[in-house]
Structure formats: structure tokens, C-alpha cells
Amino acid sequence: MRFLLALLALMLLGGCAAPTLYQWGGYDQALYAGYKDPTKMEALRLQLETHVTEMEKSKQKVAPGLYAELGTLYLQSGSAEKAITLYSKERDAWPESRTMMSAMIQNLERRQQAQAGSEK
């Protein structure tokens, strides 16, 4: 009886939801929390970092935009190098992002060169 009930409940839950294409690792909730309280943006960065690493380890596709979002969080905390790496990953994973990602990478590289130039 109990088993039957559980089975039915499972059917019910499974029946509705179309299978999801991606795993988001709590991205929307964490972004919401970050907007609500900007000190939580750091938590979003850590959460995305963990999620992306897990996805790569298990050879699953990272959901659209997540590499780039993580890159921007690194950029905003002062790590342009990491941002460039992540923007390149977004560009390679999603051809639709090429225009945007290439522009951002170019921009950062130019900025880095200018900085290197002024330090000489």
C-alpha cells in the first residue's frame, strides 16, 4: 500500500515536468540572493565555481551563460585573467555567445596590454 502510494506520487511528479536540459546548480536562487544582499555575490561566485567544476568533472554540459557569469564575478573582484579564461569557455561551449564573448575578451586583453605598457 505504502509502496503503491509512493510509486503513484513519483509518477505524478515525473509526469508533469518535462526533462530539464541543464543543471543550474542553484544559479537563479543565488543570483537573486546576491541582488538582494550584495555581500552574497561572493557566495554566488563560490557556488558557481563548485558547480562548474563538478559539471566538467562528470563531463556534463555547463548551462548557457554560467561560465560567463562566473567570469564577470571574477572580473569584478579584480581577476581579469580568470575572466578571460571563463569567457573563452563560454564562447567555445555556445557559438551564439561568440560576438559578445570575443568583444569582452578583446577588451580585457587590450586593457591588460595597456597596463603592461604603462608599467614599463
Partner 1 sequence: MKILLWSLIALALTGCATQQPVKTDMSAFQAAAPRSILVVPTINKSLDVDAPNYVLAALPVPIAEKGYYVFPVNTSRYVLEQEGYYEGERIHQEATPTLAKLFGADAVLYVSINRWDAQYAFITTTVTVEFDYRLVSKDGTEIWKASKRMMYQPQNNSSGSPLAMLITAAVNAAITRAAPNYMPLTQQANQQVFILGPTAIPDGPYRAAALKQ
Enumerate binding residues for partner 1 (CB under 8 A). Answer: 1, 4-5, 8-9, 11-12, 15-16, 18-22, 24, 27-29, 31-32, 35-36, 63-66, 68-69, 71-73, 75-76, 90, 94, 96-100, 104
Closer CB to partner 1, residue 1 or residue 116?
A: 1
Q: Least distance from C-beta 78 to partner 1, angstroms?
A: 14
Closer CB to partner 1, residue 74 or residue 120?
A: 74
Question: In 3D, which of 42, 62, 44 has the Cα closest to residue 52?
Answer: 62
| Sign of CA pseudo-dihedral 23, 27, 29, 32 | negative
| Sign of CA pseudo-dihedral 72, 76, 79, 80 | positive
Q: Least distance from C-beta 11 to partner 1, angstroms?
A: 5
Q: Least distance from C-beta 96 to partner 1, angstroms?
A: 4
Closer CB to partner 1, residue 112 or residue 119?
A: 112
Per-position DSSP letters for 37-74, written without gaps between them: SGGGHHHHHHHHHHHHHHHHHTT-PPPTTHHHHHHHHH
Closer CB to partner 1, residue 55 or residue 68?
A: 68
**In this structure, what C-alpha cell is assigned to residue 43?**
557566495
Rounded-to-integer distance, Cα 76 and Cα 111, Å: 14
